[in-house]
Structure 1
Amino acid sequence: MSASGLLIGQVALTALVHVAFAFAIGSALFERWLAADGALARTAPSHAAWHRARASLMAAAFALVLAEGGWLLYEAGAMTGAGVAGGLAALPDVVGTTHVGHAWCVAFAGAAWLLMAALLSRGGRFGAGMFWLGALASAAGTAAIGHAADAGIPSLGWAMQAVHVLATAVWGGVVLAGGLVVLPALDTSITRIALIRLADRVSNVSLAAFCVVLISGLVGAQRGLGGSFAALRGTAWGHVLTLKLSLVLLAVVLGALNRTSALPRLRRSASTLDAHTFRNVLHLEALVMVAIFVTAAVLGLTPPGHT
Structure 2
Amino acid sequence: MEPLVVAQITLAAVQNILFATTTGLVACGVMGERSGMFEQATLRLWRAVLATALSIAAFAYLWLQAAVMSGSPLTAAGAAVGAVLTASHFGLAWSVGFLGALVAALSCCFGRRGFPLFVIGLLVYAAGKAAFSHAADSGDFSLREIIHAVHLVATGLWAGSVIVAAIVLYRRSREAGGSPGQKAAFCSALSYLATVALAVVLVTGFYNAMQDTAHAGAPLFGTAWGRLLAAKLAFVALATALGGWNRMVVLPDLHARAERRDPAYPAVQRRFDSLLSAEALAMLATLALAAVLGHTSPTGG
Distance 2:33 2:10 in 1: 34
Aligned residues of 1:247 and 1:291 also touching (Cα < 8 A): yes
Aligned residues of 2:8 and 2:64 also touching (Cα < 8 A): yes
Residue 191 of structure 1 deviates from its aligned partner by 2.4
Q: Paired residue for 1:237?
A: 225
Q: Which of residues 233, 255, 267 is equivalent to 1:267?
A: 255
Q: Is 2:215 the counterpart of 1:215?
A: no
Give the AA of the match of 2:248.
T
- Relative distance call for 1:36 and 1:121 in structure 2 (3 A) is farther
Distance 1:10 1:51 in 2: 34
Give the AA of the match of 1:177.
V
Q: SS of 2:140's equivalent?
A: coil
Q: Paired residue for 1:191?
A: 179
Q: SS of 1:186's equivalent?
A: helix
Q: Paired residue for 1:70?
A: 60
Q: Which of residues 2, 5, 20 is equivalent to 2:3?
A: 5
Q: Is 2:164 the counterpart of 1:177?
A: yes
Deviation readout 1:132-151 (Å, 9 max, x if unpaired): 21111111000001110011
Q: Is 2:289 the counterpart of 1:299?
A: no
Aligned residues of 1:114 and 1:130 also touching (Cα < 8 A): yes
- Relative distance call for 1:16 and 1:189 in structure 2 (3 A) is closer
Q: Is 2:107 the counterpart of 1:113?
A: no
Aligned length: 293
Residue 52 of structure 1 deviates from its aligned partner by 5.4
- Relative distance call for 1:192 and 1:56 in structure 2 (3 A) is farther
Aligned residues of 1:184 and 1:279 also touching (Cα < 8 A): yes
- Relative distance call for 1:229 and 1:206 in structure 2 (3 A) is farther
Which of 297-306 and 221-230 deviates more? 221-230
Gaps of 5+ in 1: 40-45
Residue 91 of structure 1 deviates from its aligned partner by 0.4
Percent identity between the two aligned chains: 33
Q: Paired residue for 1:249?
A: 237
Aligned residues of 1:53 and 1:177 also touching (Cα < 8 A): no
Matches within 5 A, 1:141-152: 141-152=128-139
Q: Is 2:95 the counterpart of 1:101?
A: no
Q: Is 2:96 the counterpart of 1:138?
A: no
Aligned residues of 2:48 and 2:106 also touching (Cα < 8 A): no
Distance 1:132 1:256 in 2: 28
CA RMSD of aligned residues (A): 1.9
Aligned residues of 1:225 and 1:306 also touching (Cα < 8 A): no
Q: SS of 1:173's equivalent?
A: helix
When the two structures are superposed, what TM-score results if normalisation uses the length of structure 1?
A: 0.89
Q: SS of 1:122's equivalent?
A: helix
Gaps of 5+ in 2: 259-264
Aligned residues of 2:48 and 2:104 also touching (Cα < 8 A): no
- Relative distance call for 1:101 and 1:199 in structure 2 (3 A) is same
- Relative distance call for 1:133 and 1:190 in structure 2 (3 A) is closer
Q: SS of 2:179's equivalent?
A: helix
Distance 2:61 2:216 in 1: 32
- Relative distance call for 1:58 and 1:280 in structure 2 (3 A) is farther
Distance 1:119 1:277 in 2: 39
Aligned residues of 1:108 and 1:138 also touching (Cα < 8 A): yes
Distance 2:50 2:70 in 1: 30
Distance 1:229 1:194 in 2: 53
Give the AA of the match of 2:64.
Y
Q: Which of residues 137, 157, 160 is equivalent to 2:144?
A: 157
